[in-house]
Amino acid sequence: MFHKEGHILILAALATLIVLALSSHFFLENELHKKILVSVFIIFFILILQFFRNPKRSFQLNDQNVLSPVDGKVVVIEEVFDKEYFNEKRLQISVFMSPINVHVTRYPVGGKIVYSKYHPGKYLVAWHPKSSEENERTTVVVKNSVFGDVLHKQIAGALAKRIVNYAVVGESAVQADDSGFIKFGSRVDVLLPLDAKVNVQLNQKVKGGITILAQKNDS
């Protein structure tokens, strides 16, 4: 199963692969060169399919949990001062996605969408400390019944050239449903209340809509 954001590109890549394969048959005489060229085209097409895959998953929805919005690796767990929406300190958990990860962005919590904004910006590498504030990004805030306002931010990386954001202010967000898509490598920040109980560690691999990033701290 492939994400809708990749349908046109996949079809275009397949058409290009067929045309180039046929062209090599007519314009290249060396059989080894033909095989090498076709193999390169096939590998390139497989990489595109890999990037836009959207595997079916069974989600366990729970308002007591904050789910990872994306597949990838946890690269930041720290307190930060958010100047865009909260204007106060928040607990930030950041997940970095490599080009081979599933790039669907999912709502970490369910509730009402109260903020959705696009910010043009730079294309610093996604793990750069300033990427959260200087790179191209989208910010979405969902008002949740347990955690209050939960912010997640899609951040473009050095390779990411298009961020897709589906969040519309006033609409309802269902936990683990598609919130957006980032093309070709990036990062997502999640900003939570300071008293949230972190459930992951640095460098831990996580799955979007599956891994619990944090839980409500009842102590």
Q: Which residues are catalytic?
A: 186
Please count the other Cβ atoms lying within 10 Å of the Cβ belonging to residue 130: 10
Does residue 102 sit in helix, strand or coil? coil
Which runs of E-coded beta strand occur in the chain?
A: 65-67, 72-82, 88-97, 104-106, 111-119, 137-144, 148-156, 162-165, 172-173, 178-183, 186-192, 197-198, 205-206, 212-215
Pairing of β 137-144 and β 197-198: unpaired
Closest CA relative to residue 207, chosen from 72, 19, 17, 38 = 72
Could you give the 3-state DSSP secondary structure of residue 6? helix
3-state class of 124 per DSSP? coil
